[in-house]
Structure 1
């Protein structure tokens, strides 16, 4: 005799013992007792499993049991009620069929929910174990996080759709309605298809992003000239955290249809650029050495890339391009600010002639401009020379008596 047959025999014996009551009352009482017994049996079993000590694998089992404690009790109760329904002979056939459909409907929904919870629990455990590992660069960690989280959300949506569809297919009226709806080629089907186009586009884009990974979790991207970090990737949209704690909510298909900058796609290291304008009289070799000393003294410089070049010039000054690398984008920003501040102070103190100046010459209209004569001293620059008479040539004012005076 199988276990189910033995269980049914016990229930029939219970019904015979209460034969003096109406059959419907006996069936209801029997189902209530079976449901309560199964519920508390499941609760006791879960409590015992949670008390089992052991290694990491046992700890993982305890976490799964703890997360599924409520769905497990409901599943055990529904299975026991379904097994007890054949012994509920006091109920009419229609009532028994209705109860069976209701129990199966609830069982399918609870099982689908349990699968979703289990999927989420396993992925979180994997990501937590991955995050504890020590990597020189967390590109691989963020790649796994992106794949797991996006595929998990898509899996949850797929499991939810299958669960609800399976539960609804138990009812003949809903089943026939669904068949007729999908079989028709009228305007309703066209409207539904057009309405779901955006959702389907984002779902497919989510799969593509999980596979190709143009963006990953905590990637630094540039959107609308703002620095943004990828904070969350869902099945249909992406949450971007701006440096000033604003949030952009962007459809996930945006990253497959538009251009954007990803500063951490291959590595977090980045080269920063500082631009300065100096006068043509700037001693470039001395300034280059001073800038090298400034960058070497900066703790944010990673020691890889440094260069100083004259990249351009115009009629008034020349453009100096300073490049220095850092470990990540935020350190690169702080490094560039530090270089600007210290470079300006150093040039102002040691090389004041290198600061940009505006040169201007005033000439009369129609007069050809002639270069100014070379000046000998700083006093000449501040006070141009004046034509003076040679020594001894001054004879003084004319003598009213007719004579002349001289020095």
Structure 2
């Protein structure tokens, strides 16, 4: 056993020396180069090479027959595990290298899509490698091989049981692929899910993490996004249109307010210049509804710009046109002539307390005018 351990140390030392010599001969041009690949794969490469070479020379080491079987089995397990470790690291580095090439094109939408797809592809590759390695390690035990043979003999029943058990997992996996490669949502997208506004922070094989504006994290299953509607504010372009509603008196000077609104937007850094409008979109018996429309580069800037437009227009109205702000007429409440809580307007003529003042006044006015 000591001889095997000494052999593994010697092989690891030799492999490490070989890796160091290779690194010295490669151009040191930073991340994404062959130097970076060798450096990040150094530990799994040493483990895999040491275990594989030790396994190869193990028969020539003088071991007793009782110890040989256990040592050989341990070396096989170590070789499989270290080989899976190295394969997973290589897969991650290949995906990362492809991501760097895509991000260099400086297209933010394409970069977000590439980051999301690369992250999901890396997880799928690593999960597949780990599953294959685990199966290979289990198959080194005779009992597990016998169990596998019996399962193959009853493949119909086993397939039904496995299908039912893995239905939810497979559904989430397929939903994750559809979500990512169907370009429905990417990392960094601004979304509204279940009434919550937030940013997609992470997409895994089974769940999606949404970071809300108040620093909460909402974790939702991937299948939610493929089975229910949700809003994506930045799927193709992060630019968005924001609106601010103002309720004003009918006497409000709309043209003057429109000029002030456009003047305020022209000098504002959050307005991207794509669009603007100041329109009366509705009326009520006591007010008009004015909509101020403006565009911004993303949802966060649009929200901030809407708030500042409201503040500016209200301040302008309060300073120059205070009577244009909405007013609530105060009069006698129906059936409440003696109420001390409701101020009453000056009365022109008296009416019975049990008669609604509006319709009765119109009828009397009509009678008076006709007389």
TM class by shorter chain equals 0.7 to 0.9
- For residues 290-369 of structure 1, what are the structure 2 equivalents within 5 Å? 290-359=260-329, 364=351, 365=355, 366-367=360-361, 368=363
Tell me the matched-pair count: 341
Query: Which residue of 2 is the match for residue 42 of structure 1?
Result: 15
- Residue 222 of structure 1 aligns to a residue whose secondary structure is strand
1:369 and 1:307 map into 2 onto residues whose CA distance is 45
Tell me the residue number matched to 1:397: none
Residue number in structure 1 paired with 2:73? 101
Structure 2 residue matching 1:253: 3-state secondary structure = helix
Which one has a bigger Cα radius of gyration? 1
> What SS does the corresponding residue of 2:25 show, helix, strand or coil?
coil
Give the 3 Å change call, closer, same or farther, for CA 296–97 of structure 1 in structure 2. Answer: same
1:70-149 matches, cutoff 5 A: 70-88=43-61, 91-92=64-65, 95-128=67-100, 130-131=102-103, 133-135=105-107, 138-149=108-119
Structure 2, unaligned runs of 5 or more: 332-346, 367-371
* Number of the residue aligned with 1:157: 127
Q: Secondary structure at the match of 1:154?
A: helix
Between 1:70-79 and 1:361-370, the stretch displaced more is 361-370
Aligned to 2:229, which of 241, 249, 259? 259
Once the two structures are superposed, what CA deviation does each residue of 1:33-90 show, in whole Å capped at 9, x if it has no partner?
Answer: 4323212111211222233352538972222222222222222222222222332465
C-alpha deviation, 1:245, in angstroms: 0.8
**Contact 2:28/2:35 (8 A) holds in 1:** no
Q: Name the SS for the 1:341 alignment partner.
A: helix
CA distance in 2 between counterparts of 1:173 and 1:242 reads 51
The residue that corresponds to 2:342 in the other structure is none
The 8 Å contact of residues 11 and 50 in structure 2, kept in 1 or not, is answered as: yes
Report how far residue 179 of structure 1 moved.
3.3
**Secondary structure in structure 1 of the residue aligned to 2:265:** helix
Which of residues 34, 40, 63 is equivalent to 2:36? Answer: 63
Query: Could you give the per-residue CA deviations for residues 78-126 of structure 1, whole angstroms, max 9, x where no partner exists?
Result: 222222233246532x654443333222211211111111222333344
Q: 1:250 to 1:149 in 2, by over 3 A?
A: same
Following TM superposition, by how much is the alpha carbon of 1:153 offset from its aligned partner in structure 2, in angstroms?
A: 0.8
Distance in 1 (CA, whole Å) between partners of 2:6 and 2:201 is 50
In structure 2, the CA distance between the partners of 1:59 and 1:358, relative to structure 1 (3 Å rule), is: closer
CA RMSD of aligned residues (A): 2.6
- Distance in 1 between residues matched to 2:261 and 2:2, nearest whole Å: 89
Distance (Å, rounded) in 2 between the aligned partners of 1:253 and 1:154: 17
Structure 1 counterpart of 2:255: 285
Change in Cα spacing, 1:309 to 1:69, as seen in structure 2 (3 Å) is same
Give 3-state SS (helix, strand or coil) of 2:245's partner.
strand
Structure 2 CA distance for aligned equivalents of residues 220 and 156 of structure 1: 28
**188, 208, 211: which one pairs with 1:238?**
208
Query: 1:152 and 1:58 mapped to 2: Cα distance?
Result: 18
Is 1:54 aligned to 2:24, yes or no?
Answer: no
Question: Which stretch has the larger CA shift, 287-296 or 122-131?
Answer: 122-131
Contact map agreement 1:181 1:189 (CA 8 A) in 2: no
1:263-321 CA-partner distances (Å, limit 9, x unpaired): 11111100001111111122222222222222223221111111111111111111111
